[in-house]
Structure 1
Amino acid sequence: MTRVAERNVVLTGFMGSGKTTVGRLIARELGWTFVDTDDVIVARHGPIDAIFAEQGEDAFRAFEREVAAEVARSQHHVIATGGRMLLDPANAAVLTAAGRVFCLIANAEEIIGRLQADVDGPVRPLLSGDDPAAAVARLLDERAAGYGQFEQVRTDGGTPHDVATDIIKRLEA
C-alpha cells in the first residue's frame, strides 16, 4: 500500500474525463475509500436527469454543496466530483482545503467518444440537445478558466492506469 501525505485526493474535470475510472484505480492502489459525489446524490435524491427535470439545476447544485461539505470532512478518500462541482467557489474552497485537487482533462473529440461509448452510463442532462459535440466544445470553453485553477492531468494520451500512476507519482513526489 502506498502512503502519501495528503488527507484526500479530489478529482475534478469535465464529464467523460475519467474521474470515476481513474479515481477507483487510485483508491485501490492507495488502499483508500473511493466516493463519487454524483453517486451519493443519486443514492439520496434519485437520478440526476430526474432532479434536473423535476427540481431544476439549482436544487442539484444545492445537493452538490451539501455533499462537498460532507466529503470534505473525510480522510483517506479519493473523491470524484461532478463536472461542475468545483466551479462553485464554495465547493472549491471546502474541497481544496480537504485534499489535493487534480483536474482531469481531455480534448473534446475524446470526451465525445467516451460519452458515446458509455451506453450504460448516466444520462447527461447538459448534453441532451441536438448537437452534443457543439455542447461539449462550448462547455469546455466556458469552464476552461475554472478548471485551470487546479493541477492539470491529461487523460487522452494513455490508459486510465497510466493516468492513475501519474497522479500517484505526483502525490509521492
Structure 2
Amino acid sequence: MVIPDSGATSSAATSSGDGNRNIIVTGFMGTGKTTVGRRLAELTGRRFVDMDDVIIERGGMTIPEIFAQKGEAGFRALEAQVCRELAAQNGLVIATGGGALVNAENRAVMQAAGLLVCLSATPDALWSRLESEAAGRPMLANGDWRGLLEKRRAAYDEITHQVDTTGKTPDEVAQEIIELWHQTEST
C-alpha cells in the first residue's frame, strides 16, 4: 500500500520554509487528534491522514486485531514504518496515534517533518471522551488509562508546541494551531 499522497509532495521537493511543511497533531487518546486534524485539513486545504487508518489498511486488520495477533511490539514496528513514510511527504495534516511519538526516534522524525503539536486535556475531559470507547482502544483494555497517561507524559512534554483542548471546540483548537503554524513558518 502506498501512503496517500494526493495533494502532498516529497520533502526533498520542497523547502521547509515555503509553508508546505506538514502539520502533525499528537497527544494522548481522547485529546481530539483526529477531529482537530480533520478540521485543520479543511481550513488549510491540505490532505488529512490519520496514522491509525494507514496502519489498519497496511496491516489488513483492526488495531485491536493487530495487537492480538502481533502484540504491541508488532504494532509499534508498523507504526514506526508509517511514521517515517508520512514524514517523507509534505503538505499533509497528520494525526498520529496516541503512543506513536512516545518513541524518541518517531518523535524526532515528525518534529523534522513540520509543525508538531501535542494536544492535551484534563483527566476529567479525557474520561468524558474515552468512557464509551474502551472496546476499540487496546491500550485501555486494562482500564488504567491514567497510569498510561502518566507513563507517556514525559514524552509528550518533550514536544515544544502544546495545546490544551479542554473546554474548546475543534474549530478553536484548529485556529490556535493555524496561528502557531503561521508563526513558525514566518521565522
> Same fold, TM exceeding 0.5?
yes
Tell me if the contact between 1:153 and 1:163 (Cα under 8 Å) persists in the aligned partners: yes
Tell me if the contact between 1:72 and 1:94 (Cα under 8 Å) persists in the aligned partners: yes
Say which of 15, 37, 41 aligns to 1:27.
Answer: 41
The match for 2:176 is 166
- In structure 2, the gaps of 5 or more residues are 1-17
- Aligned mates of 1:88, 1:112 — CA distance in 2: 24
Say which of 125, 130, 137 aligns to 1:124.
Answer: 137
Query: 1:63-82 alignment to 2 at 5 Å?
Result: 63-82=78-97
The match for 1:155 is 165
The match for 1:115 is 130
The residue identity in structure 1 corresponding to 2:115 is R
Tell me if the contact between 1:41 and 1:64 (Cα under 8 Å) persists in the aligned partners: yes
Counterpart check, 1:9 vs 2:23 = yes
The residue identity in structure 2 corresponding to 1:52 is F
Say which of 140, 145, 165 aligns to 1:136.
Answer: 145
The match for 1:94 is 109
Pair 73,124 (structure 1): closer, same or farther in 2 beyond 3 Å: same
The residue identity in structure 1 corresponding to 2:128 is G
The match for 1:146 is 155
Of 14-23 and 85-94, more deviation after overlay is shown by 85-94
TM-score, scaled to structure 2:
0.83
- Secondary structure of 1:152's counterpart equals strand
Residues 37-70 of structure 1 show CA distances to partners (whole Å, capped at 9, x for unaligned) of 0110011211010111111110000000110010
Q: How many residues align?
A: 164
TM-score, scaled to structure 1:
0.90
- RMSD over aligned Cα, in angstroms? 1.5
- In structure 1, the gaps of 5 or more residues are none
